[in-house]
Amino acid sequence: MNRNVLKKTCLLPAILCAITVWPCAGTFRVAAQSPDTNNRYRLAQSYEQGGDFENAAKLYRELLLADPANYVFFDGLRRSYFQLKRYDDAIILIRQRLISNPRDLNLLCHLGSAQYQSGQEREASASWEQATEVDPKNANVYRIVANTLIENRLLEKTAELYRRARVACNDPNLFTLELAQLLSATMDYAGATTEFLRYLQQIPTQLGYVQSRMSQYTGKEDARNAAIDVVRSAQRRSDDLNLHRLLAWLMMEAKNFGEAFSVYKRIDALTNAQGVELHSFADRAYKEGAFGIAAEAYRAAIATPLASQRLPHAKFGLALAVKELSILEDSIKGTLQAAGTVPESQSRFVTAIDHFRTLITEYPNSEFAARAYHQIGLLQFEKYFDLDGALASFQNVEKGLSPMNPVRFDALIKLGEVLTAKGDTATAAIRFRSVMAAPNATPDQQDEATYRLAELEYFAGHFNEAIRNLDAISTNLKADYTNDALLLRSFLQENSQGAEIPLKEFARADYLARQKKYTEAISLFQNVIDKNPQALFVDDGMMRIATLQTKATRYADALATYQALVSQFKESSIALDKAQFSIAELYDYNLNNKVQAIAAYEKLLADHPQSLLNEKARRRIRELRGDSL
Amino acid sequence: MRSFCTLAGIRFLLFGMLAYNAAAAQSKVLIPMDLSQTDHLKAYGIAYWALTKGIEIDWLLNYRGGSFMIDDHSVVSAECRIRGVGFTFVSASEASQIYSEVQQEDNNMDVIRLEKAPKVAVYVPPGFQPWDDAVTLALEYAEIKYDKLWDTEVMADKLNEYDWLHLHHEDFTGQYGKFYASFAQATWYIEQQVTLEREAKKLGFKKVSELKKAVARKIKEYVGSGGFMFAMCSATDTYDIALAAENTDMCDVMYDGDPPDPNAQQKLDFSKTLAFTNFTLEKNPLRYEYSDIDQPPSDLLGLQNPETDYFTLFEFSAKFDPVPTMLTQNHVNVLKAFLGQTTNFKKNLIKNTVTILAEKEGLDQVRYLHGNFGRGTFTFYGGHDPEDYQHAVGDPPTDLSLHKNSPGYRLILNNILFPAAKKKQQKT
């Protein structure tokens, strides 16, 4: 048998035995002392625990003098010297002990600490260096020395030691997590990420763990960028799936959806996911509002091709994303010209509608088709004011979705609105009532339907019925429509007493406005005002005329109407602040006259110091004059 | 150069009625600071803004909550409207009447002329966000410009370029806020410790505690040479503790890598401190408290009832003690209290040269104090955020637009304007 092997075999139990027994040795030795020594030792311990290090040191020194080989007495004295900051005494004490145990790892570490604390930094480094040389290929030696360095808050030096240990022990993966944690604490994020990647390479199943550890610093932009650089660099050397997932996660954290999409394409290919990864990413990008990237990802997923059960989901997602993109790009922002004309900027909704129509063709009579009709109907009604088209679309939703489906109730309300605009108020009322009575409709949907029905009654001149319906909503403070209901109710209560006939005319003008018959509406409002100059609704009528003039891009007329309102009514209208604010907004947004806009906002502040619009006016003045807010 | 307000509190008669009558010969804008004011905090911003435009202001101490009177420049009223600050126009004769009322011997009122916008510095670490500090929140809301300084700038004597310095919940003892017990594993705590250690090493200090002591001494030099220092929360007691501990080490091993001096308490030198004396250090490194200055101790704050927790401002003679009067201008004199790592100061540990501005009545707990050192002054204000009773690490920031009339925040802003006051000649 090889002699060396035998030697090692015998040596190992001996070492283990020594390690186990050594810490007890002192106790054993103490126990073997005389009762007086025992008592003095316990007293020294008591002093130490009580923070009286002077007396503890004195007793430990006496005990050590009596028994110089006793490690427990030595260590008690060393600890006391450290507590008393008597580092020079500690150095002498440790050196004396090192004479008999020159390769004692712990002693060398303590010596280094005492030297460092006393300001002898170079000597300390030498002592710690000597400690590593006790067994330079043993990782545990480095671990002990590293702990000593950390105790002395020498974090950079510790990292350096860990790296040296890897070379010395010929193990490039040694201290991976320790280094990662240390480098992260010292804000070396690139270094920390490198170590986490090393760890992931060793244990590929730990991606979640690595992400959770890295998330401690990836919230900071500089740290995240450092991590991204490292992962990218690693990616150039290896096409490892974990690296791609980690990079995709970092890109999503950085809200860099474009880059994340590129990475997901690779992940989808590597995992042979057939578009599933791309589809999941697209959904997430859509939720985050990155509609452009979401649309691209949906397209890529669909083209993969995606499994058939996922395909309609992805196609519907694509259509929604295209619609959202169209809304973002719509410079008119929903303001329509006269009914029937389609501004150029709104022609882009055609693409979204085409996507929804394709879905309807491919998946007829399905829930997807019904939802697509709902989306088409919304665009037709809100963007094109195409009442016939919208009517047909919402009717298809009504037929296509189960009576329990919440989207169906939304469509029914919209259907009622379309019918209202078309002039078929009786059928519209039936739709609104059906939602109000539906047990599966949400309270918000029921409130909206009630409000729309109240509007119909107002348009028809049935003011008491309208007020009764509005009462039902205005007592519910949680309802979204409470404010609208309160406004309409107070208008009706104020104006219906003794002026019912002119108010019916006024309501008819409002109805024309709802039908987007602006010229007729303006003319009728003006007519009612002219015939009833003392009516309480005159200021409201002028506000409505000015609003319609603005919608019809007759800005000069609108300005004149607002100014007439402000000068004619002075103190007698509650709409004066709104009128003044509207003048400012006309200058600001429609006439692009910054100086006049500021002056108009300032006039609002001066004339109406209690107006609720003042906060907006203040902010806008400051934006216009370029203040840093 | 700093303008300087006399600290003796003696009325400058030569600058009295004649000057004010002359000033009152034109119509004025009066910014009332009583309950009629719509936004007290932005009113200070208007005063500061006017000073930056070279427009002088009269601070009418104790007149309608410490109102401001400004010559009727159209820009002033416009700016008040834009910022939502309540004001009224007063005619020349009305203004004269107001000045006359303020100057009457039997009225506890006075006029202080504010002349120059003070240059404001805030001592904060790099990466600091304004919403974690009541003073910077107030400065941001009132739109008062400030610069941020940290240890490097303080050690490079940059403080001398400023009139006013604010310290908030900084821990000058080098114990990182004593958050070790609760946050030792938190990323922000670990990074804070590493950052501070690097800063200390960069500036030639082996330990953070040594750097902080040196910074405290630099700040003391700044005050001694005429600076105005305002500290809140734990920056108050830790500042004085750091000064007292110049020759000892009070930090335990987890804070600076070595044990504290067992005789640290005995080695404290109270002659070095500004406000506190004879205090006892908290030796437990895991206890969230520095000494017995703070009352009630931080670990007993849970026993406080916010419904009954108030403090009272002292009233001073405006004509004889203008400085404490300026610092206590408010529209109420009983204020809602608020907690902090340092909340109130134990009265019997306050030096008798210090003026107590506000206290928690009947409990020997002082909330707000002021004192002189050399040619400068210091003001300490206990608690963390006047509108967040118990602000904890990670809590959302206070939205001051919801607290436009906060009396607690007003005390902070009084301090900002105080260095703008014109120096009054001493009577003798």
Say whether pLDDT at A123 is over 70.
Answer: yes
Residue that is written with structure tokens 């925040």 in the block = B409
Contact B426, B7 (CB under 8 A): no
Q: What is the pLDDT of residue A497?
A: 79
Amino acid at B357: L
| pLDDT above 60 for A74 | yes
Distance CA B327, CA A206 (A): 59
Is there a contact between B257 and A84 if contact means CB atoms under 8 Å apart?
no
Structure tokens at A428: 């519209």
What is the model's pLDDT at position A331?
57
Say if CB B397 and CB B137 are below 8 A apart. Answer: yes
Is the pLDDT at B382 greater than 70, yes or no?
A: yes
Question: Which of B187, B191, B257 has the CB atom closest to A152's CB atom?
Answer: B257
Mean pLDDT of the B121-149 span:
86
Summarize pLDDT for B152-171 with one digit per residue, the tens.
999 999 999 999 999 988 89
Q: Alpha-carbon distance B324 to B58, whole Å?
A: 17
Tens of pLDDT, residue by residue over B178-195, are: 888 888 888 888 888 999
Q: Tell me if A610 is assigned to some domain.
A: yes
Q: Which residues touch B303 (CB under 8 Å, ≥6 apart)?
A: B296
Which residues of chain A lie closer than 8 angstroms to B261, CB-CB? 85
- Answer whether A379's CB lies under 8 Å from A353's CB: yes
Q: What value does the mean pLDDT take over residues A315-335?
A: 81
Which pLDDT score is estimated for A21? 40
Q: How many helices and strands in chain A, by DSSP H and E?
A: 33, 0
Could you give the CA distance from residue A128 to residue A119 in angstroms, rounded to a whole number? 15
Selected residue with higher pLDDT from A567 and A31:
A567
Element containing residue B57 per DSSP (H, E): strand B57-61
**pLDDT band at residue A403 using 50, 70 and 90 as cut-offs:** confident
The Cα-based distances of A45 to A40, A42, A85, B299 in angstroms read 9, 5, 18, 30
As given in the structure block, the two tokens for residue A125 are 């480094």
Note whether A120 contacts B: Cβ–Cβ < 8 A: no
Mean pLDDT, rounded, for A514-543: 92
Q: Give CA–CA dist B422/B116, Å, rounded.
A: 8
368-407 of A, contacting B, C-beta below 8 A = none
pLDDT score, position A472: 83
Give the residue on B whose Cα is nearest the Cα of A53. Answer: B262
Q: Distance of CA A535 to CAs A181, A485, A531, A543, Å? A: 77, 22, 9, 14
Query: Does A566 reside within a domain?
Result: yes
Mutation choice for B interface testing from A80, A153, A598, A602 by most B CBs within 10 A: A153
CA distances from B150 to B124, B147, B158, B413 (A): 6, 10, 10, 22
Residue percentage of chain B with pLDDT more than 90: 68
A330 pLDDT exceeds 50?
yes
Is residue B37 a contact partner of residue B65, using CB atoms and an 8 Å limit? yes
How many contacts, defined by CB atoms under 8 Å, are there between A and B?
49
Residues of chain A above pLDDT 90, percent: 74
Per-residue confidence (pLDDT) for residue A30, from 0 to 100: 53
Q: Which amino acid is at A560?
A: A
Interval B323-342 mean pLDDT: 92
**Domain limits, CATH 3.30.70.790, in chain B:** 13-114
DSSP structure class, residue A366: S
The single-letter DSSP state of residue B401 is: G
The mean-pLDDT minimum among A53-67, A117-131, A400-414, A592-606 falls in A400-414
Q: What does the pLDDT read at residue A8?
A: 42
- Are A117 and B256 within 8 A, CB to CB? no
- Which residue bears the tokens 């002693």? A107
Task: Please compute the mean of the pLDDT values over residues B296-313 and round it to a whole number.
Answer: 79
What CATH number is associated with residue A576?
Answer: 1.25.40.10
pLDDT exceeds 90 at position B97:
yes
Q: From the CA atom positions of chain B, what is the Rg in Å?
A: 22
Chain A: nearest CA to B191, how far in angstroms?
Answer: 6
List the one residue out of A375, A332, A333 whose CA is nearest residue A353: A375
Residues in chain B: 428
pLDDT at A15 over 80: no
Touching B: A residues 174-233, CB under 8 Å: 184-187, 216-217
Which chain B positions have a beta carbon within 8 Å of A151's beta carbon? 253, 257
Give A338-349 pLDDT, tens digit per residue. 444 555 445 678
Average the pLDDT over each of A169-173, B296-300, B414-418 and give the range with the smallest value: B296-300
Q: What is the 3-state secondary structure (H, E, C) of B212-273?
A: HHHHHHHHHHHHHCCCEEEEECHHHHHHHHHHHCCCCCCCCHHHHCCCCCCCCCCCCCHHHC
For chain A, what is the largest distance between any 2 Cα atoms, rounded to a whole number of angstroms? 124
The whole-angstrom distance between B255's CA and the closest CA on chain A is 9
Chain B residues 226-285 with CB within 8 Å of chain A: 249, 253, 256-259, 261-262, 283
Interface mutation vs chain A, best among B46, B88, B191, most A CBs within 10 Å: B191
Q: Kindly state the percentage of chain A with pLDDT values over 70.
A: 91
Q: Does residue B68 surpass a pLDDT of 50?
A: yes
Q: Which residue has the higher pLDDT, B421 or A414?
A: A414
Q: What is the pLDDT of residue A514?
A: 93
In the structure, what pLDDT confidence band is assigned to residue A541 with cuts at 50, 70 and 90? very high
| Domain annotation covers residue A141 | no
Look up tokens 């107001």; give the residue. Answer: B98
pLDDT at B416 over 60: yes
C-alpha triplet A396, A399, A400: angle, nearest 5°: 80
Using CA coordinates, name the residue in chain B closest to A625. Answer: B82
Residue A405 structure tokens: 């489906």
- pLDDT, position B296: 82
State the Cα–Cα distance between residues A473 and A478, nearest whole angstrom.
9
Residue A4 in tokens: 């060396």
| Element at A332 (helix H, strand E) | none
Residue A563 lies in a domain: yes
Q: Say which range, A465-479, A518-532, B151-165, has the weakest mean pLDDT.
A: A465-479
- For B62, counting Cβ atoms within 10 Å of its Cβ (0-12 exposed, 13-18 middle, 19+ buried), the class is buried
* Cα angle: A586, vertex A605, B57; to 5 degrees: 140
Q: How many domains does chain A have?
A: 1
Instruction: Identify the pLDDT of residue B361.
Output: 84
Q: Is the model more confident about B19 or about B58? A: B58
Q: What is residue A283's predicted lDDT score, i.e. its pLDDT?
A: 96
Asked if residue B238 has pLDDT above 70, the reply is yes
The residue whose two tokens read 């640290």 is B264
Least confident of A155-164, A335-344, A604-613, B5-14: B5-14
What's the mean pLDDT in B214-236? 95
Q: Is the pLDDT of residue A582 over 70?
A: yes
Spatial contact of A468 and A489, defined as CB atoms under 8 Å apart: no
Tokens of A289: 């509002």
Q: Is the peptide bond between A136 and the residue preceding it cis, with omega within 30 degrees of 0?
A: no
pLDDT, tens digit (0-9, with 9 covering 90-100), for A261-311 = 999 999 999 999 999 999 999 999 999 999 999 999 999 999 988 888 999
Fold of B120-304+339-397: Rossmann fold (3.40.50)
CATH topology classification for B13-114: Alpha-Beta Plaits (3.30.70)
Least confident interval from A130-134, A337-341, A354-358, A384-388:
A337-341
Q: Is the peptide bond before A305 cis (omega within 30 degrees of 0)?
A: yes
User: Quick one: pLDDT at residue A342?
Assistant: 53
Predicted confidence band at B23 (pLDDT cuts at 50, 70, 90)? very low
The share of chain B scoring above pLDDT 70, in percent, equals: 90
| Structural domain span for residue A573 | 524-624
pLDDT tens digit string along A481-516? 888 899 999 999 888 877 778 899 999 999 999 999
ipTM: 0.78
Distance from CA of B78 to the nearest CA of A (A): 7
3-state SS assignment for residue A341: coil
Contacts of B259 in chain A (CB under 8 A): 82-83, 85
Looking only at the bridges linking them, the beta strands covering B365-373 and B344-346 are antiparallel
Give start-end residues of each CATH 3.40.50 domain in chain B: 120-304+339-397
CB B337 within 8 A of CB B391: no
pLDDT of residue B130: 58
